[in-house]
Structures are given as C-alpha cells and as structure tokens.
C-alpha cells in the first residue's frame, strides 16, 4: 500500500527507525563531546600544575646554584660553620 508520496508503510517505518537511531547516535556523540571537554579541562589543570612544577624547578636550581657559588667563595671559618650547621656538632 503506497501513500501519496509513493512511500510504503514499511519504507516509512524503516526511515523513522533510521532517523531515531541516528538521533540516538547524535545524542551519544554529544555526551562524548561533553566528556571530552571534561577531559580537556582536566588536562588544562594538569598543564598548569606541570608549568608550576617547572617554575619551582627553576627556582630550586637557581637557589642551589647561588648556594654553590657561596660555598666556592667561602673561607675556612665559613666552611667550618656550614659543616657544623649541617651536622649539628
């Protein structure tokens, strides 16, 4: 039995079912996009933490480089006091 647009009931049912399936898939894809965005936000936070760590590393490096220079320039008394301070004797 054909309708006025030449479509059988069976065809119409099939097309409706296909449209439903496609819409469900599109909805699922939207959920996946949301999840991807959550992951992206998480990655942004992680990147920020990592760049903070890098800054800290630089600060630590500079601190110990400075300390190394101070030790190189230290005289006997200073080296002695550094050792005493280190080992508490």
* Residues in touch with other proteins (CB under 8 A): 2, 5-7, 11, 14-15, 18-19, 21-22, 25-26, 28-29, 32-33, 35-36, 39-40, 42-43, 46-47, 49-50, 53-54, 56-57, 60-61, 64-65, 67-68, 71-72, 74, 76, 79-80, 82-83, 86
CB of 88 to other proteins, least distance (A): 14
Task: Identify the helix (H) or strand (E) that includes residue 9.
Answer: helix 9-73
Asked whether the CA dihedral 48, 51, 57, 58 is positive or negative, the reply is negative
How far is Cα 77 from Cα 56, in angstroms, rounded to an integer? Answer: 32
């Amino acid at each position: 039995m054909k309708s006025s647009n030449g479509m059988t009931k069976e065809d119409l049912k099939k097309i409706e079912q296909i449209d439903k399936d496609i819409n469900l898939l599109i909805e699922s894809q939207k959920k996946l996009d949301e999840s991807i965005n959550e992951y992206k936000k998480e990655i942004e936070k992680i990147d920020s933490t990592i760049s903070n760590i890098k800054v800290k590393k630089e600060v630590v490096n500079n601190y110990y480089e400075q300390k190394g220079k101070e030790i190189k320039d230290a005289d006997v008394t200073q080296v002695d006091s550094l050792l005493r301070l280190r080992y508490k004797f």
